């Protein structure tokens, strides 16, 4: 069972000496034991994309497919994300994709692994990786996909419904835009409307990148 006292080293204890180098960060994150989530998971799923990306997209945590393949957003949510980015005319070569939490949290149900939401302490433990990725990439805009990413960067009062679709400033001065998580689109009763909402928000990101 995960310990509840948050007496974990957090990711901060595993950051490399030179955190400005993305490759060093990725290598160091592979050995992170900053919270208990590493143990049942297959591997660390670090961000993917170039160090000169102008846009960073932040999800929640890797899912089952991502945990197996070691790459973010390569499962069903990733397909929805790619479709929405293309429809919004965001240039995907400009994008770095990552998650607030780098290990897959799940509960076992027979042979299936069911997604479990990371809690506040786990998100807090993992945030040093995200902060270091943002410092290394220095994007023009960060798109926060869903509540976990939103709370990680904007704090506990963040609410997707109230805060989505607006250009906001994170405490570090970073320009951010929050929107729905692509998995929420896949679960929505009116999937088309949710998809259209995600696309509309991503069009704002595309406009920022066009300057
Ligand atoms: N959901 C996420 O938040 N991130 C992924 O990488 C995959 C699914
Ligand atoms: Fe480290 Fe984050 Fe994995 Fe926890 S979830 S072990 S802090 S990489």
Write the pLDDT tens digit of every residue in 65-112. 999 999 999 999 999 999 999 999 999 999 999 999 999 999 999 999
Question: 99 and 45 in contact (C-beta within 8 Å)?
Answer: yes
Query: Nearest CA to 115 among 194, 197, 37?
Result: 37
Identify the three-state secondary structure at position 118. coil
pLDDT at position 1 over 90: no
Q: What pLDDT was estimated at residue 125? A: 97
What domains are defined for the chain?
A: 19-210 (3.40.470.10)
Residue 67 C-alpha from the chain's centroid: 14
State the ligand closest to the CA atom of 98. Answer: 1
Q: Bridge-partner residues for 107, per DSSP?
A: 114
Q: Which two tokens stand for residue 122?
A: 């786990």
Atom of ligand 2 nearest to the CA of 11: 7
Q: Which two tokens stand for residue 39?
A: 């143990």
Instruction: Tell me which residues have their CB closer than 6 angstroms to ligand 2.
Output: 11, 29, 32-35, 37-38, 44, 101-103, 125-126, 129
Identify the three-state secondary structure at position 89. coil
Q: Which two tokens stand for residue 138?
A: 């220095």
Please return the burial class of 92, using the count of CB atoms within 10 Å of its CB with bins 0-12, 13-18 and 19+: middle
Q: Write phi, then psi, for 142 (nearest 5 degrees).
A: -115, 125
Global confidence as pTM: 0.96
Distance, CA of 29 to CA of 49 (rounded, Å): 16
Q: What pLDDT was estimated at residue 172? A: 87
State the ligand closest to the CA atom of 46. Answer: 2
pLDDT at position 165 over 80: yes
Ligand 1 pocket member 59 (CB < 6 A): yes
Per-residue confidence band for 6, with pLDDT thresholds at 50, 70 and 90:
confident
**CA of 77 relative to ligand 1 center, distance in Å:** 6
Per-residue confidence band for 5, with pLDDT thresholds at 50, 70 and 90:
low
């Amino acid at each position: 069972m995960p310990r509840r006292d948050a007496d974990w080293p957090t990711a901060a204890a595993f950051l490399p000496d030179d955190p400005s180098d993305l490759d060093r960060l990725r290598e160091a994150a592979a050995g992170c034991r900053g919270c208990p989530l590493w143990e049942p998971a297959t591997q660390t799923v670090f961000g993917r994309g170039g160090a000169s990306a102008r846009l960073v997209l932040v999800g929640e945590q890797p899912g089952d497919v991502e945990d197996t393949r070691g790459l973010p957003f390569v499962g069903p949510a990733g397909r929805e994300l790619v479709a929405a980015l293309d429809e919004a005319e965001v240039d995907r070569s400009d994008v770095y994709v990552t998650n607030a939490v780098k290990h897959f949290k799940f509960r076992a149900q027979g042979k299936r692994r069911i997604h479990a939401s990371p809690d506040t302490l786990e998100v807090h433990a993992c945030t040093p990786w995200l902060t270091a990725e943002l410092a290394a990439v220095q994007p023009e805009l960060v798109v926060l996909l869903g509540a976990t990413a939103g709370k990680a960067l904007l704090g506990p009062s963040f609410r997707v419904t109230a805060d989505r679709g607006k250009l906001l400033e994170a405490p570090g001065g970073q320009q951010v835009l929050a929107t729905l998580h692509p998995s929420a689109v896949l679960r929505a009763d009116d999937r088309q409307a949710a998809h259209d909402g995600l696309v509309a928000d991503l069009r704002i990101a595309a406009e920022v990148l066009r300057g």
